[in-house]
Amino acid sequence: MTYAPFNLSGKVCLVTGGNRGIGLGMAEALAASNADVAIWGRNAEVNKEAVAKLDKLGTGKVFAWSVDVGEEDQVVKGMAEVEDHFGRIDTCIANAGVGRGAANFEEMTIETWRYNQRINSEGAFFTLREAGKSMVKRAKAGDPGGSLVGTASLAGIEGAGRNEAYAHTKGGLIAMMNAIATEYGRYRIRANSILPGWIATDMTDAAQGNDTFTSKVISRVPIRRWGEPEDFGGIAVYLASDASSYHSGTTLIVDGAYSKF
């Protein structure tokens, strides 16, 4: 018998911030593995472009909702609509995120702090709480299981100078995922964090064009390149699949070994 745990037929996967960057890289792999994929993003036109791309992959259905995860009412409504549309939620990847730093810590403003907090902390909290609520309800009805994933960052475990506000949100997300893993294990719901390193996305656009950054930072990545959104496809499929049914409460670093050098 062929070992085929990565065929996600019949599984419903939600990816917030799934219309571009790392989220889109994950969504592409999930769709190609035959999952039904739900995308949340604030830009309806970008959502539409992502759906058109994903529709060409796999056998599952793809649908997008315009949701601002920083607004609790939108998250509650959006999660109910995903569940109503697909009938269930098997995997939720809280990936939507923003990043804003400051010239230095002493000049960091409360506006910068709250800008990061609104999406990265509160948005992830709303999203994971509502997805978890759906999964627990299903488990109590006799159908246990599910996967909750938080896209954190190396900034959450390493020193990120001038990015204390951002680092705070990502460290907090890791702690929240660990707590969820222990609380929801009884329902066979797993919870894990993914920690990207230096990835070529819109968030790092300025650094990508900076020769000094390339020579001093990217040259230190042992794999010797920027990470790409598609580098997160495999780990998304794994965490959504039955192959990870006993894998919970961990931080999965995807950084080309940068943190080990």
Catalytic residues: 166
Determine the Cα–Cα distance for residues 194 and 150; give it in Å rounded to an integer.
6
Residues 6 or more apart in contact with residue 192 via CB below 8 angstroms: 147, 148, 149, 150, 177, 181, 239, 244, 247, 248, 249, 250, 251, 252
Rounded to the nearest 10 degrees, what angle do helices 124-140 and 164-184 cross at? Answer: 10
